[in-house]
Chains A and B, each alone.
Chain A
Amino acid sequence: MTPNIVAFLCNWCGYAGADLAGVSRFQYPPTIKIIRVMCSGRVDPVFILRAFENGADGVLVCGCHINDCHYISGNLQAEKRVEKTKQLLKAIGINPDRLRLEWVSAAEGAKFATVVKEFTEFLEKIGPLIT
């Protein structure tokens, strides 16, 4: 089984990190579908739920490291919101670990590849989300 992961990457860190992973030719599984947002704070819980509704097995949100947000406090908002969305997922019977928040800077291409690899392995282990 190959999991489907929807990844929301912030323009300044997560997306740049993914780009670096690409140009550095780090190998990671082709399981992620990337959506670029300006800031991880832009990710509305509605988007995450919609992704799960449409058949995603996992959702990854990547933002800048704490204190490094391009928009001062966007990643702090993302952190709060992901935490709340996890509670919501738990309430509706979805394993909250299917939603993952990671800080990946523009210089961390290798970390991005590792994050995707680990998340994919985790989702493979717990199996698909049947909705």
Chain B
Amino acid sequence: MLEVAEHPLIELITNADLLDVLGYIGNFDVTIRKNPRFVDESKCTGCEACVHVCPVYAPNKFDVGLGYRKAIYRPFDQAVPNAVLIDPEKCIECHLCVRECEPKAITFDQKPEIRTLNVGTIIVASGFQTYNPIGEFGYGKFANVITQVELERLLAPNGPTTGEVIRPSDHTEPKKIVMIQCVGSRNLQNNLHCSGGVCCMVAIKNATLLKQHIEYADITICFMDIRAAGKGYEEYFLQSRKNGIKYLRGNIANIKEDPETKDLIIRVEDTLSQDIIDLQANLVVLSTAMEPASSTEEISKILRLEKSADGFLKEFHARLDPINTKIPGIYLAGAVQGPKSIAESVAAGKAAASSAAIPMIKKVHEIIKLEAIIDPERCSGCGLCINICPYQAISLEDNIAKIDTILCRGCGMCAAICPSHAATLRAYRDTMLENYIDALLSEF
């Protein structure tokens, strides 16, 4: 990220929303809204003197609410750009920070800035979010049921506990830990999709790390199937078994909490031996599914991109062309296309960058001359074709439909809906198809 920020040919715009995209490959007009951060990025040195004087505390989003931050804050240590920002919802405008700031970077009069960028190609890399398991397996009700992301923040040296793993209820070190896999995924009722083996590997990694932190920890992973598919993954899984992490192929029936000790009792059906087992745990960790980010829906609408059945953005072809989309000039990178591990995301990112560079360097985009044509004398300007066109390639000019030959892909939906037969396809005209039908049936 830092390299991107410092690259002379890359302009990095953070804290911005996508509003609209018009045009086609080589000539997209992208409208964005840069939200105010109330701090001048070019002046702020990231010294955090303002942070120390700020009297307002709020949950830290980066630590998934486990730690605290101020109303003026740097999202996390490696945040790019290296500048603080003000949360307008929490700020009480006491202006203590303004007094403290030496470079005079804090400006409360910043307004949202609307900008239009003219670009040749677009890469969508808006990522994923984790499933919110609230109400499942006692999450949100029992203090010692946490998610894998929360455990990761507890394990992190820069996390809220500076790397010390403690249970939320009494801040003691957990001795018995149970991890539950496939929370919010591989479930025929709400989400049958698997998160691509990512949560399996994350659970194995976190269990291994836990074992390094707490040597006598008793860790059990209740899984459906361990999907350790990837280079070195199976070896890592086998190594974790050697290190004493227990794996139980089990379905969770229910979780109960001991009201005194806040320990948890997990009833599991061992699906191999069909035995009912009661596990005791100090801490339960849920491996939650990867699901499409909440922004995916809006992005798919603005960019006119399709979504797959699992809600992630749809690629041109799942196996043969996983980077391109059906709109030329728009490419997908990372988990916006589907659940991906770090290695897969890096590969997809590099692939998307190369794919986007090819037409830009070639400066040539080939189209197949299949596009729709309009007979201006027949067109009544009813606009039915405009609404039906999946590529927004048709517009009205002087009350006559006009087709953008670059955006048009030649599906012919406008030709089929046109009540006055004004729209037709260059290579599949109405008369041609009608003659075809007549000829095919003439011998009978």
The chain A residues found within 8 Å of chain B, CB to CB, are 4, 6, 33, 35, 37-39, 41-44, 46-47, 50-51, 54-56, 67, 70-74, 77, 81
Contacts and interface: CB of A to CB of B under 8 A. Distances in A.
A50 B306 contact: no
Given A70-B326, A71-B390, A41 B437 contact: no
16 contacts: A6-B441, A33-B440, A37-B412, A37-B433, A38-B370, A38-B411, A38-B428, A41-B411, A42-B413, A51-B441, A55-B444, A70-B326, A71-B411, A72-B306, A74-B413, A77-B413
B415 interface: yes
A81 B306 CA distance: 21
Contact of A35 (B309, B409, B437): B437
Nearest to B314: A67
A93 B303 CA distance: 45
A38 B408 CA distance: 13
B111 interface: no
Interface size classification for chain B: 20 to 34
A47 B308 CA distance: 31
B199 interface: no
B305 to A, nearest CB: 9
Interface in B290-316: 304, 306-309, 314
Contact of A67 (B309, B411, B416, B438): B309
Given A6-B440, A37-B433, A70-B326, 5 more contacts: A38-B370, A38-B410, A54-B438, A72-B306, A73-B390
B434 interface: yes
Contacts of B390: 71-74
B251 to A, nearest CB: 31
B436 interface: yes
A67 B413 CA distance: 16
Contacts of B307: 67
A43 B425 CA distance: 12
Contact of A77 (B416, B438, B441, B442): B416
A67 B305 CA distance: 11
A10 to B, nearest CB: 9
Contact of B413 (A6, A39, A47): A39
A38 B425 contact: yes
B413 A41 contact: yes
A24 B277 CA distance: 51
A50 B434 contact: yes
B411 A56 contact: no
A38 B416 CA distance: 12
A71 B308 contact: no
A43 B410 contact: no
A70 to B, nearest CB: 7
B388 interface: yes
A4 B441 contact: yes
Contacts of A37: 412, 428, 433
Contact of A44 (B326, B430, B436, B440): B430
Contacts of B438: 50, 54
A50 B433 CA distance: 10
B171 to A, nearest CB: 48
Given A6-B441, A51-B441, A72-B304, A42 B326 contact: no
A67 B415 contact: no
A41 B412 CA distance: 7
Nearest to A42: B412
A66 to B, nearest CB: 9
Given A47-B437, A50-B434, A67 B306 contact: yes
A74 B326 CA distance: 13
Interface string B365-405: 00000100000000000000000101100000000000000
A41 B304 CA distance: 18
B386 to A, nearest CB: 14
